[in-house]
Structure 1
Amino acid sequence: MRKAFLEPTADQTFEVVGDGPYNFVQVLERSRRMQESGDVEGACNERFQAFQRLAALIPEDEEVNLEWSHRNSRAALELIRASAIDHFLINDFEMSAALLELLLELDPEDHLEGSELLAFDYLAMDEQELFDEVINDVSDKAASREVLLLWSAYRRDGSLPEGELKRFRTRFAPYFAEFTADSHPADAAYLQDIESEHPSLAAQARELWLQTENLWVLWPGFIEALKARRVEA
């Protein structure tokens, strides 16, 4: 009996069926417990190995869309995204992008909004053409899109486009304030706010900063350019 296989559905999608290491619901939960207990490296390894097992199940010459409503298939997709985040945070942008590209192949509807992180990966790799292809899949209601557009322009020609800058400063004021602040503490007040049922925009802005802080350590010039414009009305 096979330990794992892809079960076709009537909707022309596939469900990942399997036990043990292919029970991705259990693997995902185990990785979360490991991370919460402080075993971050172990959790990262758990997620990446789960991705490797899943990837081995996917035929190279066939389009496979996983069924989002199926628990094990959804957990498999969540593990791919989580591993992409793991690699992003250690500045392995190429592997992070590869994981996200697979995620979008398996889930073209992008339920987990992998396009956003993929756009950051592409800019970090200075893949502007690939960035141009994916940025349209990032919601124009998301502050992250404005950060991406501003950073893309800055990476291209070293300047901030006035229209995007004005939009960022006015429509996403708490995010502009956060990205031009001198400190970004993940203190008790922030944690209480972001973990609440309705986190404030200020807390959400700090969350985006903290999620992308590794980029600004590598490319501080972009943040300095933003800060230079914070005194304007």
Structure 2
Amino acid sequence: MQKATLNPTPDQTFEVVGGGDYDFVKVLSRSREMQEAGDVREACDMRFQAVRRLQDLLPEEEETNLEWNHRNTRAALETIFASAIDHFLIDDFEMSAALLELLLELDPEDHQEAVVLLAYDYVALGEQELFDEVLNDVTDKYPSRTLLLLWSSFRREGRLPEGELRRFRTRYAPWFEEFTAAEHPADEAYLRDIESARPSTGAQARELWLQTENLWRRWPEFIEALRAAAK
């Protein structure tokens, strides 16, 4: 197994340079191929082990910003994010949050908008103060911020805030319709739509449902409250 190095740049960032197991471009690509072939567990483990190797490279107690515009370094950052998603989807919200916190330390500009998933993790963990701290970094251009505010308030107070509910129903009507629907099939029509150059808002709404579906299986009362509000 070849060793890697952290090479400093004039921009006070670092590039991850290495081969073999430290060629994160190849590791990430291979893990995706394995996942597409149905070897999901092996793909997730490959990504997680890659993250651990990256962590071993990092200096302790020193701020280290990784260079997004360097191909291998970007792949390393993408691998952390992918592993955080892996853990999120199996309801390991604590590990997912830890990986995302690491990612934001290494990439403070948050090129992958990891803070959104971190916000979901914090609500799932009941870490409302941490959620409040990151909420301002979640853009209001997308429906996730409104959905997060609804879910966070529901978990704290047991009810849906009227203002955010109204916003979800009007500004993000396709998402409200999707999240209150009885079924959410990932059928061929959806796949064609979401993989097209310009996915419809309906397909984007279903994508968000599918990305967060594990939360609603675990906390179905939130979705029940949304459906009750839709009547």
* Distance in structure 2 (CA, Å) of the matches to 1:103 and 1:41: 22
Residue 132 of structure 1: how far off its partner (Å): 0.3
Q: Which runs of 4+ in 1 moved over 2 A?
A: none
* Distance in structure 2 (CA, Å) of the matches to 1:171 and 1:60: 45
Residue 26 of structure 1: how far off its partner (Å): 0.5
Residue 61 of structure 1: how far off its partner (Å): 1.5
* Distance in structure 1 (CA, Å) of the matches to 2:197 and 2:141: 20
Residue 183 of structure 1: how far off its partner (Å): 0.5
* Distance in structure 2 (CA, Å) of the matches to 1:37 and 1:221: 35
Residue 80 of structure 2: aligned partner: 80
Residue 150 of structure 2: aligned partner: 150
* Unmatched segments (≥5 aa) in structure 1: none
So what's the TM-score if we normalise by structure 1?
Answer: 0.98
Residue 108 of structure 1: how far off its partner (Å): 0.2
Residue 68 of structure 1: how far off its partner (Å): 0.5
Could you list the per-position Cα deviations for residues 90-123 of structure 1 after superposition, in whole angstroms to 9, with x for gaps in the alignment? 0000000000000000000000010000000000
Residue 164 of structure 1: how far off its partner (Å): 0.4
Residue 225 of structure 1: how far off its partner (Å): 0.4
- Structural mapping, 1:3-152, within 5 Å: 3-152=3-152
* Distance in structure 2 (CA, Å) of the matches to 1:165 and 1:209: 17
Which letter does structure 2 place at the counterpart of 1:157? E
* Distance in structure 2 (CA, Å) of the matches to 1:6 and 1:39: 31
Which letter does structure 2 place at the counterpart of 1:37? A
* Unmatched segments (≥5 aa) in structure 2: none
SS in 2 for 1:15: strand
SS in 2 for 1:228: helix
Residue 168 of structure 1: how far off its partner (Å): 0.6
* Distance in structure 2 (CA, Å) of the matches to 1:136 and 1:223: 24
So what's the TM-score if we normalise by structure 2?
Answer: 0.98
